Amino acid sequence: MVYAVEMRGITKRFPAVLANDHIDIAIKAGTVHAIIGENGAGKSTLMNILYGLHKPDEGEILINGQKQAFGSATDAIDCGIGMVHQHFMLVPRLTVADNVVLGKEPRKGLLYDRKAAIAKVAEVCSRHNIQVDPAKKVADISLGMQQRVEIVKTLYRGAEIIILDEPTAVLTPQEIDDLGEILRQLKEGGKTIIIITHKLEEVMDFSDDISVLRGGKHIATLRKAETDIPELTRLMVGRDVQLGGRKESAPGKEEALRLTDIVYAAAGRQILKSISLVLHKGEVLGLAGIDGSGQTQLAEIVAGVLTPSGGSVVYHSRDITGKTVAQRKKEGIGFIAQDRQKHGLVMDFSIAENLVLGFQRRPEYCQYKIAVNSKAVISDAQKRIREYDIRTPGEQVRVSMLSGGNQQKVVVAREMGSRPQLIVADQPTRGVDVGAIEAIHNILINHRNKGGSVLLVSLELDELMMLSDRIAVFFDGRLMGILDSATATREQIGMMMVGSSLEGKEGPAS
Amino acid sequence: MKINALKLRLKDALVPLILILIAFLFSAIWISFMGKSPLEAYRALFAGAFGSTSGVVNTVKKSVPIAFASFAVIVSTKANVFNIGAEGQLAMGAFGATMAGIFLKGLPAAVHIPAAILAAALGGMAFALVPALLRVKRGINLLVVLLLMNNIARFLLQFFVLDAFASDNALVPSTDRIMESARLPYLIGPPYRLTIAVLIVLAVAIVLELFFRRSTAGYEMRAVGLSPEAARYAGIDINKYMLLGLLLSGALAGVGGGLEILGNHHRLYIDFSPGYGYDGIPIALLSGGSPLISILGSLLFGALRTGSLNMQAKVGISDEIISVIQGSLILCIAANYFVKYLLNRRRSGKAGKEAGQ
C-alpha cells in the first residue's frame, strides 16, 4: 500500500533538546490523521519538517511513495503539501480573494486580475463546499472564517495533503463543529488531512487514525475506533490522568468580592456595561462568553491592571477600587493573566527571577531592605519547581526556554505560592497540555476547597462547567445572567453567550 | 545542558568581536580607496594607542568620559529608555563641575572634589529631567526630545563659555580655571597626568553591576526594561523607573563630563568633548548591558581616538576615518541579528527556540 506521507526515522536535534527521536509515521491517503502529544512532545517540529521549514538531521520523507528532500516550504507546496498555522498569516486589509491568491496571482498583462482572482477562489470554495465570501475584507470576518481562508489558500495552491496546527485553539464551539464538517468534505474529496492537537475530544470527533508523540518519540499509532480518551491520555502523559473537579464543600455565604456597576470604556467603545456580581469565599465563579465579550477586562479590573471608568470593587468588605496592583497583591489577590508571555512573565528572566516577580518586595526575599536575598529566592524557586512539577534542568534556566505548559506552571506557582485568598485566573489553561491542565485544575479546586475564591475566565465551556460553582455569562459587555453550574446545560450557556437572556428573567441576576 | 549553555554564552561573546572585526575590515576598504595601505594605517593606529607609555595613558584617559557615557546609555536602556542625549548631559555635567570648581572657595580638596562631582551629576540630571518629564507627563517621543536637547546643550555651552563665564585671560575661548582644590589628584604625575578618574570609573562600574544584580530596585528596573507590560502587571511602577533610569543616566553622563574638566582640562572649552556622549551608544549596545564589559569597549574607543592622531601623522589618513569605523560599527550592530542568524544557521537549527512549539 502506498501512503500519502511516510516519515522514516526522522530525528531533529536543537541545542538543548532532542525534538524528534527516530520517528516513523505513515499516513494513509484520504484519511484524517491526528498527531497528538503534550507541549514539547515534538509534534510541531515534525510537521515543520514535513512542510520543509526544518531539515531533519536524520531520516527520510516519502510523499505518495516518492522520496523527497525539501529545502524550503516552497518545495513542500510544490509537492502538494499545505499547512494552516495556529496563528493565521493573512493580511487583514486585503480581501479574502486577495489573500488566497497572494504570491500566485492571476494576471492580465502586467496587472493583477482581481475579477479572475475572485472567480477562481469562488470556484475552489464551491468545489470543496466551503462557505467564504471572497470579496470580504479579512479584517471584517471572524477567526473561524479566517481559518477557512487559510484552508482555501492551501487548496488554491493544489494541496493534496493539508496540515492543520492546533486548528481549534481560537474557535467557538459552533465553529469547531463547522470545521469538522469541512474536514469531512475534504476527506471525501480525496484529500489527506493531518491535525496537530492536544485536545482529545476533537481527536475523537475528527480523525481516523491517531499517532501519539511523547518526549520526541513516537509512542503509538492507533485507529480511532479501537481506542478511547483515557487510553490516549495515558499514552500522551505516560500515566493515568484524572481530569474533573473534586468539589467537596459547598461555597460559604461570606462575600469575598463584590462588584457594583462596573463600567469600562476604551477608545469610545463600551466594553463593560454596568456589571454587578458577588463572589463568595470557597466558591469558583466562572465567567463565560465568546472571546472579547468583556470577561477579560473584568478580570483585569479586579486584578488592578485596568482602571474601571465607573463602579466599585469591594474585596473582603474593603473598597479597593483605587488600589494599585501592588497593594492588591499584598491584600491577597493573585492574578493569572491571560497572556503569560506578554503579561505574566518576563521572558528573558530566569525561572527563579520570574517566581518572585511582583513579590520581590516581600521581606523574605529582601536583605537589608534594599538587596535581593538570592539564597532565599533560589531555595524558594527550587521548592516551587518540585512542588509544581515544573520540568526544567534548573531554576536559572530562562523561562523562554520552557514549553508553554511549564511557563504557565511558573505563573501559577508564583501566584499560588503567595497564599492568596482570591485568585483571578484568565484562561489559565490556554494552550497548555493535558498534564498541566490537570495540575492547574487541581490547584484551583484545592484553593476553593480550602475556602479561597476563584474568578475564572475561560472560553472552554467544559472547563467552566467542571470547575465553577456558578457561571456568569457575558455577551457584548453585558452580564446575561448567572447560572448554577450543577443545573445549567451547555445549550443554555451557549444561547446566552450569543445574546439571548434567560427566559423569564430580566436583567442581570446576582 | 551546562556545556550547551556555556557554548551559547561563548557565542554571545563572539558576536561583538565579529562586529568590531567587520567594522575594521569595512573601513579598510575605504582606506585602500584613498590609496593607503590599511595594514599600515591600522599598525600606526595601534602603535599610537598602545605603543608608548603616553599612548597607553592617553587611551585610558580618553576612555573615562566614554565609559561614563556608556554607563549612562546602559542604565537608561535597562529602564526601557534609549538615552541618545548623553552628549548634552555630559556637557551640562562639565558645566556644573566647572561652576563648582570656580565658585566654591576655601574648601579642602577632600570636600571640594566630591562637591564638584556632585555638581556634575546634578547638571547632567537636570538636563535629563526636561525630556523625562515630557515623556512621563505628556508621553512625548523621547528620542526626538533627547536628540534636540543635545543641540540646546551645545548652544548653552557656547553661551556660557563665550559670554556668561568667559575668561578674560585665556588664549582659546574658555572659562576661568577651576580652583586647585577641585582638581583631581594624579595617580601618575606629569608628564603623563593620569588622575584618579580611572578609579572612579571602576568603582562606579562595580556599584552599577551590584545595583542591577543584587538590589531589589535593580531587579525591578530590569523587569521594566525587558518587559514593561509584564512589570506593570506585576505591580511595578514603570513610570517611576523610566524617570529614575533617565535621571540616573543623565547624572552618569554628567559625571563623565565633569571628570573630564576636573581631571584633564581644568577649565571649560566649547569643544571639550569630541562626541564622547555618542561613543557611549555603540559601546552600550555591544557590551550586552554590562557596565564592567563596557569599560573594555570604552578602552577600544579611547584607543581609536588616541591612535588616530598617530595614524594621521604617520600614514596621512585624516582622523575622520575614526568616524567611519564607528559608523560601520553602528551599522554592524544594526545588522547584529543577521550575524546571529548566520551563526545559528551554521548549526542548522534555531537556537533557543523551544522544540515542538
Same domain, B323 and B275: no
| CATH number of domain containing B83 | 1.10.3470
Nearest CA in chain B to A414: B234
Distance CA B221, CA B217 (A): 6
Chain A residues whose CB is inside 8 A of the B8 CB are: 15
* Average pLDDT of the segment spanning A285-289: 93
Domain boundaries, chain A: 1-80+160-241, 93-157, 254-332+420-510, 344-418
User: B50 in a domain, yes or no?
Assistant: no
Please tell me which residue of chain B has the smallest CA distance to A301. B233
Instruction: Tell me what the mean pLDDT of segment A71-97 comes to.
Output: 88
**Nearest residue, CB atoms, B355 vs list A19, A329, A404:** A19
Q: Quick one: pLDDT at residue B8?
A: 57
Q: Answer whether A325 sits within 8 Å of B230, measured CB to CB.
A: no
- The ipTM value here is 0.81
Give domain A1-80+160-241's CATH architecture.
Answer: 3-Layer(aba) Sandwich (3.40)
d(CA A90, CA A238): 38
Q: Is residue B41 part of a domain?
A: no
B288: left (phi over 0), alpha (psi -120 to 50) or beta: left
Residues of chain B neighbouring A45 (CB-CB closer than 8 A)? 355-356
Residues A128-151: what's their mean pLDDT? 87
Residue B90 sits in the same domain as residue B31 = no
- Residues contacting A510, CB < 8 A, separation 6+: A276, A277, A278, A482
* One domain for residues B26 and B64: no
Higher pLDDT, residue A407 or B357: A407
Asked whether residue B14 falls in the same domain as residue B126, the answer is no
Per-residue pLDDT tens for A158-167? 999 999 988 8
User: B356 and A402 in contact by Cβ < 8 A?
Assistant: no
Cα–Cα distance for residue pair A386/A117, rounded to 1 Å: 57
For residue A434 the three cell numbers come to: 493535558
User: Which residue from A15, A17, A394 is facing B8, i.e. has the nearest CB?
Assistant: A15
Same fold, A1-80+160-241 and A254-332+420-510: yes
Residue B136 lies in a domain: yes
Output the pLDDT for position A247. 57
Neighbours of B39 (CB within 10 A): 11
> Residues B171, B248: one domain?
yes
Q: State whether B193 and B308 are in the same domain.
A: yes
Asked if A16 is an interface residue toward chain B (Cβ–Cβ < 8 A), one would say yes
Q: Which of B219, B237, B357 sits opposite A403 (nearest CB)?
A: B357
Give the least confident one: A11-20, A316-325, B309-318: A11-20
Q: How far apart are CA B273 and CA B91, in angstroms?
A: 8
Nearest alpha-carbon partner for B84 in B44, B141, B155, B40: B141
Full strand arrangement of the beta sheet holding A5-14: A17-27, A5-14, A58-63, A66-68
Residue B325 has pLDDT above 50, yes or no: yes
Q: When comparing pLDDT for A230 and B46, which is higher?
A: B46
Residue A507 has a pLDDT of 44
pLDDT band at B267 (very low <50, low <70, confident <90, very high): very high
Strand boundaries in A215-309, DSSP class E: 217-223, 255-266, 269-280, 284-288
Same domain, B223 and B343: no
Where is average pLDDT lowest: A120-124, A172-176, B92-96, B206-210? A172-176
Under DSSP, the state recorded for A402 is S
How far apart are the CA of B133 and the nearest CA of chain A, in angstroms? 22
Judgement on whether residues B194 and B249 belong to the same structural domain of the protein: yes
Instruction: Specify if B119 maps to a domain.
Output: yes
Question: Domain count of chain B?
Answer: 2
Which H helix or E strand runs over A162?
A: strand A161-165
Domain residues for the domain of B253 are 59-316
**If we measure between CA atoms, which residue out of B51, B36, B33 comes closest to residue B317?**
B36
Which residues in chain A (42-101) have CB-CB distances under 8 A to chain B? 42-45, 54-55, 57
Q: What is the pLDDT of residues B78-128, one digit of tens each?
A: 998 889 999 999 999 999 999 999 999 989 999 999 999 999 999 999 999
Nearest beta carbon to residue B215 from set A41, A305, A370: A370
Q: Do A393 and B1 touch (CB under 8 A)?
A: yes
B217 and B353 both lie in a single domain: no
From the number of C-beta atoms within 10 Å of its C-beta (0-12, 13-18, 19+), residue B262 rates as buried
Buried b (16+ CB within 10 A) or exposed e, A407-441: bbbbbbbbbbbbebbbbbbbbbbbbbbbbbbbbbb
> Cβ–Cβ of B234/A325 closer than 8 Å?
yes
A254-332+420-510 to CATH, choices 3.30.1490.20, 1.10.3720.10, 3.40.190.10, 3.40.50.300: 3.40.50.300
Taking alpha carbons only, the member of B116, B77, B85 closest to residue B99 is B116
CA-CA distances (angstroms) from residue B122 to A118, A441, B93?
66, 54, 7
Residues B265 and B350 in one domain: no
Asked if A353 reaches chain B (Cβ–Cβ under 8 Å), the answer is: yes
For residue B216, the distance in angstroms to the closest alpha carbon of chain A comes to: 5
For the cut 90, the answer to whether the pLDDT of residue A379 exceeds it is: yes
Check pLDDT > 70 for residue A307. Answer: yes
State the pLDDT at residue A248.
56
Best of B219, B220, B348 to substitute, by most chain A Cβ atoms within 10 angstroms, is: B219
Contact A343 B214 (CB under 8 A): no
Residue A168 Cα to chain centre, angstroms: 9
Contact A360/B351, CB-based, under 8 Å?
no
Residue B355 is nearest to which of A42, A329, A360, comparing CB atoms? A42
Cα distance between residue B65 and residue B184, in whole Å:
14
Return the DSSP state at B178: P
- Domain assignment present for residue B295? The answer is yes
Of A299-308, B63-72, B163-172, the range with the lowest mean pLDDT is B163-172
- Give B215's strand partners: A371
- For A166, the closest chain B residue by CA position comes to B357
Of the listed ranges A233-242, B147-156, B286-295, the least confidently predicted one is A233-242
Q: Are B143 and B84 in contact (CB under 8 A)?
A: yes
Domain presence at residue B143: yes
pLDDT of residue B345: 61
Name, of A100-114, A416-430, A445-459, B244-258, the range with top average pLDDT: B244-258
Residues B214 and B336 in one domain: no
Q: Are B234 and B304 members of one domain?
A: yes
Q: How many CA atoms lie within 13 A of B4 on its CB side?
A: 13
CB contact at 8 A, B258 and B252: no
According to the model, what pLDDT value does residue B83 have?
A: 92
